[in-house]
Amino acid sequence: MSVQSLYTAATGMESLQSKLNVIANNLANVNTTGFKSDRANFEDLFYRHEIFPGSQDQANNFTATGTQIGLGVRMQSTQTQFQQGAFQETGGPLDLAIEGKGFLQVVDPVTSQNLYTRAGNLSLNAQGTLVVGSAQTGRVVVPQIQIPNDANGISISSDGRVFFQQAGNPQMQPAGQLQLATFFNPEGLLKIGENLYSETISSGSPQQNNPGTQGAGVLRQGFLELSNVEPVRELIDLITTQRSFEMNSQVIDAGNQILQVITNLARN
């Protein structure tokens, strides 16, 4: 019995270590633009059924509950929490916050794959094309928006229409229409880093719509969506995870002491 308790407690420590990694990633990204926090889910493992519920005893009486001893726990999944993050006013003409559940679509220049992001810190490349700001690669926003080099003002409406102004011309000129992608199951998106997601079978195919239609959300120029990580809640989870890890380690210590007692009895 004590040997089994060692293995059972070990599954608890291993699962809690995985949860600790999730919490660490959430806290590390507390200032990441558009970041969505993760939640670790757990499930119990197999059970050793010494007496099945409903079994008959020698007097032909049925047992009400039976005897079932669990063999531990494992991490079931991590779920991304897509609740809206707070907005930070930046005043930047190419900073966009998405108020709603939509994603900006971009194209990776290396793989030509469509990717999706909630981070609206946009920029212009050397050709005047609208791209998502990145330390690695300037990924072009889809639909593609082109801004002339001599433009001295850019305006983006809440419904995604992009305008620019040129010197000597007080009229705003249209540059294109931004769209937002929505997914039936955004929790099924694959996180690939750099604030980017890619579609999977679980997420479903993206539905492209203009901002303000079909529940895609609207755009807010001059704002950025902050991370939706709640530091206080994460710190509470950190404390409870640490205490649970310690309790499982105490179970291992208790099992070890029982084995030591049994070993001493055998020697005597």
Reported as a single tens digit per residue, the pLDDT across 78-111 is 999 999 999 999 999 999 999 999 999 999 888 8
CA distances from 130 to 36, 69, 195 (A): 24, 59, 17
The pTM of the whole model exceeds 0.85: yes
Q: What is the mean pLDDT of the chain?
A: 91
Kind and range of the H or E run holding 124:
strand 122-124
How far does Cα 184 stand from its chain's mean position?
Answer: 16
Closest CA to 5 of 259, 243, 264: 259
Identify the pLDDT of residue 40: 95
Reported as a single tens digit per residue, the pLDDT across 135-157 is 567 899 999 999 998 888 899 99
Q: What pLDDT band is residue 130 in, cutting at 50, 70 and 90?
A: very high
Reported as a single tens digit per residue, the pLDDT across 6-34 is 899 999 999 999 999 999 999 999 999 99
Does 143 sit behind a cis peptide bond, omega within 30 degrees of 0 on the bond before it?
Answer: yes
Per-residue pLDDT for 63 more than 80? no
pLDDT above 90 as % of the chain? 70
Q: Pull the structure tokens for residue 211.
A: 């901002």
Q: Pull the structure tokens for residue 80.
A: 């991304």
Token pair 């755009």 is at which residue? Answer: 219
Query: Which residues are within 8 A (CB) of 114 and not within 5 positions of it... i.e. 6 or more apart?
Result: 105, 106, 107, 108, 142, 198, 199, 206
**What are the domain boundaries of the chain?**
2-42+74-82+229-267, 87-225
